[in-house]
Structure 1
Amino acid sequence: MGGPRSRILDHPDREIIDAELASSRSVAAVARKWGFPRKTLDDYKRRHLPPERIAVLRGLAPSELDADIERLVATGGERAVIGMARVAVKCEEMAERCEKLGDFRNGATYRNLQIKAQIEQAKWANLYPKGARTVNNNVVLSNGEALFRIFDKILDTAQTLPDARRMFAAELRQLSAPIDGEATHA
Structure 2
Amino acid sequence: MAGEEIATLGGGCFWCIEAVFVEAAGVLGVESGYAGGDVDHPTYRDVCSGRTGHAEVVRVRFDPSKVSYRELLEVFFAVHDPTTLNRQGNDVGTQYRSVVYFHSDEQRATAEAVIRELAAELRRPIVTELSPAPRFWPAEDYHQGYFAANGHEPYCQFVVAPKVAKFRDKFSELRRR
> Which TM-score band applies after superposition, normalised by the shorter structure?
under 0.3
Relative to total residues, which structure has the larger strand share, 1 or 2?
2
Relative to total residues, which structure has the larger helix share, 1 or 2?
1
Structure scoring higher RCO (CA < 8 A, sep ≥ 6) equals: 2
Query: TM-score with structure 1 length normalisation?
Result: 0.25
Query: TM-score with structure 2 length normalisation?
Result: 0.26
Which protein has the larger Cα radius of gyration, Structure 1 or Structure 2? 1
